[in-house]
Structure formats: C-alpha cells, structure tokens
Amino acid sequence: MKVEQDLHMSRGDGETSYAANSRLQEKAILKTRPLLHKAVEEAHASLSGLSRAPADGKMVVADLGCSSGPNTLLVVSEVLGAVANRSSCDHKSSLVADVQFFLNDLPGNDFNLVFQSLELFKKLAEKEFGKALPPYYIAGLPGSFYTRLFPDRSVHLFHSSYCLMWRSKVPDKLASGEVLNAGNMYIWETTPPSVVKLYQRQFQEDFSQFLALRHDELVSGGQMVLTFLGRKNRDVLRGEVSYMYGLLAQALQSLVQEGRVEEEKLDSFNLPFYSPSVDEVKAVIRQSGLFDISHIQLFESNWDPQDDSDDDDVATLDSVRSGVNVARCIRAVLEPLIARHFGRCIVDDLFDMYARNVAQHLEQVKTKYPVIVLSLKAIR
C-alpha cells in the first residue's frame, strides 16, 4: 500500500460517496466550533502585531485533510463567520484582513468536487454574511501533511478534523510481507504485543514529524485546532475503534471461509491507522517542546452518525438500521483501499455482512467513537 497514492475517501456525490456519508465528521466540526472560533479570533487579533511577517496583510488558514463534500466548505464558512463576527464587534480596529484558505489533502482526493462547489458557496456566503464577509481566496494544495507544505512562518491557523489518526504509512515490518497480525486489519484482541508496539512507534514518529513541520510553517503566535479519533479504553487491544475494524475483519474472514477472498490477502491487509489515548498525544507534544496545549479533551460520538442521543444507557432502538448507517459511513472511508486490495467485486457483499455484524454488536452494547480535540499555540 502506498498511502499517498491509495488513501482517499470515496469520490463523487453518489449514494456510497464520502460526500453523501460524512455526517459523523460534520458533527465533530460542529461540536468543536467554539474552539475553532476562539483560535480564529486570536489569530486574527495577532495580525496587527505581525508587520514584519511574510503573510502581512492577510490571514492564511490551512485545512489539512480537507477531503471533499459539504464538510470541506463548512470549515471555510466557520472561519469566515468568526472573522466577520470579530470585525463587526471590534469597532476600534481598522484591520480588515483578507483570508487565504489552502485546502490540503492527498493527491487522490476529489478536489474537482470541491472546486465545482465554490460558486454556490460564494453565493451562500454573500447571503449569510453580507457586507461583513471578508475578502477571501481558496486554493487546493495536494500533498501529505507529513511533509513540508508551506514556507517558514507563513500560516496563521492550521485546522484538521478526522485525519490525524491516519498514519504516513503502514509500519515497515507489517508492510514487508511477513504475516504478523493474522486475520486482522488493525489492532484487535489477537494482535501480538510486538505489532501493537509497531503501530505506537509509527504514531509517535508521525505525530512528532507533523508538529515539527507545522511549527516551522506557523507565524509567531500561530494556532492549531486538531480533531481526530482517539482511544478511551486503556487496553489498546480493546480500543473502541478496534471494535469497528474488528467487525469488518470478521466479515472478511467470512468471505475467506466462503472461498471468495484468499486468506493471504486478508493477512497482508494492514491499515495505516492508529487511534491514540489522550496521554499518548500529550506525551508527544510535551516531548517536542514546540507547542503549548491551550485545550485538550475527549468527547464521544455514537457509531451511528444519524443517532444524536446522548444517553449511554439507552439501547440502540433500531440496531439493523444503525448497522446499515455505520456500514455506509465506513464504506465511504475504506472502499477505495478495500477495492484496490481485494477487488471491487466483493465490496457490496462485504459491507452487507459488516452491517449485520455491527447490528448484532449494537444489540448488546451501544458503542461510541472517542474523539480527541486539542488547541495548540506555537512556542517561539
């Protein structure tokens, strides 16, 4: 697997596309809105003190792992709204900064869908914000956020949502062809401790690299707001996201038993993924010495993106429907990787089986995704 080439969400806006099945990610953006607005306001306020900065005269905002569909421009809208609100409230300031957006994702992302949406977005933004709408510009920026993306001290705010659990690559030993995690695609109950350590080391290396790169690219006082899947359970083998991938692996195992998937194919399929605990995230940040943690917390989101209930004790009312909803959400994320590795012919049946597995699981226990959100400020 070559992550930079192969990893992308399902393209287009059809029934199984990411654009049509990304409500889970939308809920996270809306949940973290206050934190994003605060970071935007602080970044905007700092502009008056950056007369010697390379980005003088404009605020540069980069959305890392922007994907495609409505959520991409939802982030842009939230930033514009925060800038418009600050400008209208701060009558003492004559600063009306242009806002330059860079929408970043891997080259396989459906940037065309994003660009085709810009004209309608412009009309809606003008209608919503009126004269308070600041001048803004939007550009696409393909490339991995585990590489350098911008010149030194040129970005005021980095935002990333539901992306940093993805690794830059499958750990080398797992990708070498040797079977080390048989029957699994990620960490699960039968995963050996040595494989867990490989995933943890890959997370530590990737996140450390990410922090170092962004620190170089941020202006003095620059901000980052990052949201990604994490882990609440201290037991790495039984992390909440592990259940999700474990049930999908079980569906693949059923196809192996039916003779439709080769066992070797399953054993060689390893996801470039790791959902860390809050403590693991804090440890890497502190070891880097590059950022102050302004805010960090873990919140939870129901597996079923259509389920907005907050009560942990309420059982899933319609487990079959929830199973289908979860399967659609995960298919929109994983179908390109699944189809490339196993062939497109199994995809429909695989996710039908997965929906049934999820439904059976939700009959027993209502499961939630742990989501980590943090706000960081660069140390100079």
Q: Could you read off the pLDDT of 205-227 as tens digits, one per residue? A: 999 999 999 999 999 888 999 99
User: What's residue 45's pLDDT?
Assistant: 77
3-state secondary structure of 244: helix
265, with CB counted inside 10 A (0-12, 13-18, 19+), is middle
For the chain, what is the mean pLDDT?
86
Using one digit for the tens of pLDDT, what is the confidence trace for 357-377? 999 888 887 888 899 999 999
Scored b (16 or more CB within 10 A) or e, 87-118 reads beeeeeeeeebebbbbbbbbebbbbebbeebe
The arithmetic mean of pLDDT across residues 249-276, rounded, is 91
CA distance 99 to 97: 6
Residue 99 in contact with residue 137, Cβ under 8 Å? Answer: yes
Amino acid at 186: Y
Q: Which of 378, 29, 104 is nearest to 215 (CA)?
A: 378
Q: Which two tokens stand for residue 304?
A: 């079923």
Contacts of 291 (CB under 8 A, 6+ apart): 211, 215, 224, 285, 376, 377, 378, 379
Question: Which of 45-49, 71-75, 206-210, 230-234 ranks highest by mean pLDDT?
Answer: 206-210
Which residue has 């080439």 as its token pair?
5
| Domain residue ranges of the chain, discontinuous segments joined by + | 3-378
Using one digit for the tens of pLDDT, what is the confidence trace for 18-54? 777 788 788 888 899 899 999 988 888 777 654 444 4
CA distance 330 to 352: 12
Amino acid at 83: V
Q: Which two tokens stand for residue 378?
A: 């660069």
Q: Considering the domain 3-378 in this protein, what is its CATH number? A: 3.40.50.150
Q: pLDDT confidence of 17, banded at 50, 70, 90?
A: confident
CA distance 266 to 45: 52
Looking at the predicted structure, is the pLDDT value of residue 93 above 60?
Answer: no
Q: What percent of the chain has pLDDT over 70?
A: 92
pTM: 0.89
